[in-house]
Amino acid sequence: MADKKNLLLLFDHPTEPVFMDKAKTVFDVPDSFLTDRYRPISNEVQSRAGEQVEQRIPVRDISIPDLRIPMSLGRDEQFSLFLPKHRRIAGRLIDIFMNMRTVDDLQSVAVYARDRVNPVLFNYALSVALLHRPDTQGLDLPSFSQTFPDRFIDSQVMRQLREESFVVQPGSRMPITIPRDYTASDLDPEHRLWYFREDLGINLHHWHWHLVYPFEASDRSIVAKDRRGELFYYMHQQVIARYNAERFSNNLARVQPFNNLRDSIAEGYFPKMDSLVASRAWPPRFENTKLSDLNREADQLNVEIGDLERWRDRIYEAIHQGFVMDERGNRLALDEATGIDTLGNMIESSILSPNRVLYGDLHNNGHTFISYAHDPSNKHLESFGVMGDVSTAMRDPVFYKWHSYIDRIFQEHKSRLPAYTDAQLNYSGISITGIQVAANGGQPNTLTTFWQQSDVDLSRGFDFLPRGNVFARFSHLQHLPFTYTININNDGGAQRFGYVRIFMAPKNDERRQPMLLREQRLMMIELDKFVVSLNPGPNTIRRRSTESSVTIPFERTFRNLDANRPTTGSPEELEFNFCGCGWPNHMLIPKGLPEGLQCDLFVMVSNYENDRIDQQLVGRCSDAASYCGVRDRLYPDRQSMGYPFDRLPRTGADRLVNFLTPNMSIVDVTIRHDNRTVPRQN
């Protein structure tokens, strides 16, 4: 019987033939599985690895299912989840992988398919299948940045890395530094945010989120996860809130939504990356580009801007009427409990949309329109730009304009819900008497950020080169770890449980004026959420920033260490793979300003008896649950995502201080940026 861990070797060196060695291991591929080029010389190519091979993996010769649909996408084309044609192709390949009866059969079909289907399509479909098949769920998928490093770093660095790996022996290789300012100069104000948009961890988070939450598959259970539509809304809303905090940290105003689809896009973007699969540069978008109707026969795309506008108007009409119409003509209420989930599935849109014919495919098609703005008719045979791929979209400034626009539609629904009442917010008998946050040995209520240089191993993605580690060194934002100290009083005579919710937002707007809560609530970034037991009388709660329910640590973002793995076969190991989904811990707080960015830190203790979801959460993969949920479980909080800031405040609570009930408290926090660079200590 095949060892399921061998399947992970199929991710390595994605453009090399499958029979080439992978970490001193080779697949013994049946001659009939070889492509036409290599079948006549099978003895010659299959014996190439020679004496260096330590393990040979037998591959059974079985009858192969029909792969014509997955093979209809060329090996050297770009693959995009935002294109309906590509989603259908991926859905078919996922079905084939899911329907294999045993790991042995899956291995045979995957080996056969690997040299025949598009490498990025293969990676995505096999990843989704391994995450969702019961017999492969314990596998730890390699980081996408290791397999396709070209999607994350400057193409000039790729050339230097190739030279280093070709000339220098593995033990003597040096990391190649990725320059900090390679996509634009300081003449472009938007480039001040390079460290957020081009951060490896943030782009990996976005890719992994869409891997865990695919929007197309014939097996509905792969898509229909608990509160999936609401999570789509909330994760992206939080990205925009965080981006706006970073803009304030760079003396820029909040991002303007891309409200008028017929306006030009002021910002240009020049990615300066090459696709190793397509052997083409990622196309740029020039300043003041306008969207055009799409008519690309090769991509089966024939969509007009008018279609997007009609879908948008129908979604707004549904929000204002308070219901959507499903495909049978039934009304589904957009109520307080499930309305946001329905809207999320409809706007994205996934196969869970109540009516794709009526409400269309707004979010995905927006990405597609923008990504083809440079060549809408395929006249120049150009592929899509970075907005067309989930692993690169967040690099482009227009991503944030588009998602601010999408968030505006969600907020239209949220603004029509009744404000939370005192009774829905208060926790009778529980009061917060003090909050302090401090870095180790630092000033109270002052947080510090700086630059850090870290190394990441990209060797799995370097094809047709000598084996061994290939390290790139990149600069990223980092902060001094800090601890929250929260004093909570329990006036009752018995132990009670509370759900602590921590948020932060800038105090002032772009004009340095104090923000009204109706605006400030949209800039509240969730920092943490956790359960506490409260004994009668005073309680002091301490919580480290590294324990955040939003983030995952550096090692799990890049996943190139086998350290800290749970025991093989344990329930904890089943959830380990899900751990790749989570906001990177080094980006937990905004950069701040040299003179200090003034923020409100908000802490609330809600009644856990009202909020709890009764389920067993084994392992450590519920620890980034705020943005990612928990694998094969319900979302671990009964309240709406973003509570208590997901709705307009009640009458009289025009400022945050007026919103507070006794179980809430705020403290002024200053985030200072120290413009120095330190190496990461392993």
- Helices (H) and strands (E) counted in the chain, each on its own, are 22, 22
The per-residue pLDDT for 569 is 44
The per-residue pLDDT for 618 is 54
The per-residue pLDDT for 1 is 73
Q: How far apart are CA 32 and CA 362, in angstroms?
A: 44
Largest CA distance in the chain: 83
The radius of gyration of the chain from alpha carbons, rounded to an integer in Å, stands at: 25
Amino acid at 113: A
Amino acid at 558: F
Q: What is the pLDDT of residues 179-216, one digit of tens each?
A: 888 888 889 999 999 999 999 999 989 988 888 888 88
The per-residue pLDDT for 622 is 54
The per-residue pLDDT for 116 is 95
H helix intervals, 566-634: 571-576, 608-611, 625-628
- Tell whether omega for the bond before 383 is within 30 degrees of 0, i.e. cis: no
Write out 444-475 in H/E/C secondary structure. CCEEEEEEEEEEEECHHHCCCCCCCCCEEEEE
Contact 527, 483 (CB under 8 A): no
Beta pairing partners, 488:
432, 539
Domain ranges of the chain: 4-138, 149-179, 189-416, 422-459+473-679
Strands 301-303 and 294-296: antiparallel
Place of tokens 């965080």: 242
Strand, coil or helix: 322: coil
The per-residue pLDDT for 123 is 94
The per-residue pLDDT for 473 is 87
Q: How far apart are CA 46 and CA 56, in angstroms?
A: 11
Contact 592, 525 (CB under 8 A): no
Q: Which residues contact 601 (CB under 8 A, 6 or more apart)?
A: 435, 437, 445, 502, 503, 504, 666, 667, 668, 669
Q: How far apart are CA 275 and CA 15, in angstroms?
A: 12
Tokens read off for 33: 């599985």
Place of tokens 């290791």: 146
Q: Rounded to the nearest 5 degrees, what angle is found at the Cα of 393, between the Cα atoms of 527 and 313?
A: 90
Question: Is 364 buried (19+), middle (13-18) or exposed (0-12) by CB count in 10 A?
Answer: buried
Backbone angles phi, psi at 270, to 5 degrees: -120, 100
Place of tokens 């973002």: 557
CATH number of 422-459+473-679: 2.60.40.1520
The per-residue pLDDT for 309 is 97
Q: What is the pLDDT of residues 219-252, one digit of tens each?
A: 888 888 999 999 999 999 999 999 999 999 999 9
Choose the catalytic residue: 348, 526, 573, 575.
348
Contact 203, 584 (CB under 8 A): no
Q: How far apart are CA 52 and CA 49, in angstroms?
A: 6
- 3-state DSSP percent of the chain in helix, strand and coil, to 5: 35, 20, 45
Backbone angles phi, psi at 597, to 5 degrees: -95, 120
Contact 328, 298 (CB under 8 A): no
Could you count the other beta carbons within 10 Å of the beta carbon of residue 616?
Answer: 6
The per-residue pLDDT for 202 is 93
What DSSP element (H or E) covers 439? strand 430-439
As its CATH architecture, domain 189-416 has Orthogonal Bundle (1.10)
Q: Rounded to the nearest 5 degrees, what angle is found at the Cα of 120, between the Cα atoms of 64 and 211?
A: 100
Mean pLDDT of successive 10-residue stretches along the chain, which has 682 residues: 88 87 84 88 77 84 95 93 92 94 95 94 94 85 84 83 82 83 88 94 90 84 90 97 98 97 95 82 94 91 95 98 96 96 94 95 96 92 91 96 98 97 96 95 94 85 70 91 97 94 97 96 97 97 94 73 43 49 93 98 95 68 75 86 97 96 98 94 72
Verify whether residue 348 is a known catalytic residue. Answer: yes
The per-residue pLDDT for 616 is 67
Measure Cα distances from 212 to 113, 201, 215, 228, 494 in Å.
22, 16, 10, 10, 41
Confirm whether 4-138 and 189-416 share one CATH topology: no
Q: Which residues contact 39 (CB under 8 A, 6 or more apart)?
A: 31, 32
- CATH 1.10.287.620 for domain 4-138, yes or no, is no
Backbone angles phi, psi at 605, to 5 degrees: -115, 110
The per-residue pLDDT for 566 is 44
